[in-house]
Amino acid sequence: MKIITVKNVHSFAKSQSRKFDKKIVESIINLVQKDGDSALRKFEKKFNGVSTKAFQVSQKEIKDAYKSVTPEQVQAIKLAKARLEKTESALKTRLVKIETNTDGIKITKIFAPLGSVGCYVPGGLARYPSSVIMSVVPAKIAGVKKITVVTPPNKQGKIDPLVLVAADICKADQIFKVGGAHAIAALAFGTKSIPQVDKIVGPGGSFVTAAKYLVSNVTSIDMLAGPTELAIIADDSADPKLVALDLISQAEHSSDTSCCLITTSKNLAYKVVDFIEKIIPTLQRKDIVAESLHKNGFVAICKMSDAILLANNLAPEHLEIMTKQPKAISNKTKTAGLVLLGQNTPSAASDYLLGTNHILPTNRFGRSRGSLSVLDFLKIQTSVESSKQALQKIDKYLSALAKAESLPNHYEAVKKRI
């Protein structure tokens, strides 16, 4: 990892922004929209080396999956599900019907569940049963009627057993063996095998993220949840080994993750880098970790006010604060997808069992939203009811506004009623 002394925070943060190639993804989407299932088979063969006959996972496949997982893994899935359910249910109970009455005009707002959603679960270099939990559980609590899971198969054309078990435990309605940008296109437009959905949620690599962006004019999406991001703000009170291990834990996702340390301590910076260099040769997934940290990782040395400013400019997916007073720093950080306070709140734990959702905004979208939640699966349904007397009370103001906007027929439509 390179060590940098940051002097101009804004220009440095700007240099770290990511871009993705939309042209290739756009061609994939267009072909799926045109050819449906045949395009999906073509792309599964091209990208995954899989010849797919039936996309939908059968009940027998789900039943057989339980034979390939351990009781401890099943219990871990159930515990993660229960903890997230507790968090999301607490939020759902606060979303009550709102009614107002102003001069006889009654307005009602309710939180109505979406009809259908597609949950993308990544595959490839790792398996992610936890992402099944994070997307399906809040959808279920919201009351979504039909939940579709799509996830890439392995080279044998099969879905990881633990992913299938997680989807079954969380009560997904249907599961399909397809991944990548073409899976996103299938959910957006629908094919003979895969139904069109009202909204697509879930994390993915750069192609999946680009595909979600490109289909967002056809179907709703949750956010751009691309390759993992972790920033750590630390001072000289932080344990360099813990800092290093946290950076490594997120770097192992893929070679395009972005992990950094922002510190006031030059001593900490060099200790962290030194420990990482020594431990990498002993790691599992060492090639991925090494490439990720070498290509995208950095250590920024600056004063604390600039550290906070840099973190707010980067708006990372995860922000760990490992300082003497983490809450004081947290109060000044407003843009991270998830803030993790103190020495004993590693992002690796939040990926599984802390009760928070690990589907988070990346690429600086933490400036405008937080983690996936029950809110993503609800729409605010508004209804309004007026009376002739209510219209009479606002008659002259309606006339004034309609004339000001040169839309006289707006007022005529009201005038006829009164």
Residues taking part in catalysis:
317-318
- How many angstroms separate the most distant Cα atoms in the chain? 82
> Packing angle between helix 71-92 and helix 129-142, nearest 10 degrees?
30
Query: Contact 231/336 with Cβ under 8 angstroms?
Result: yes
Distance separating alpha carbons of residues 186 and 179, to the nearest angstrom? 10
Distance separating alpha carbons of residues 335 and 68, to the nearest angstrom? 41
Burial class (CB in 10 A: 0-12, 13-18, 19+), 188: buried
* Alpha carbon 220 to chain centroid, angstroms: 13
Q: Give me the residues paired with residue 340 across strands.
A: 320
Distance separating alpha carbons of residues 171 and 136, to the nearest angstrom? 8
Burial class (CB in 10 A: 0-12, 13-18, 19+), 245: middle
Polymer length of the chain:
418
Query: Contact 238/322 with Cβ under 8 angstroms?
Result: yes
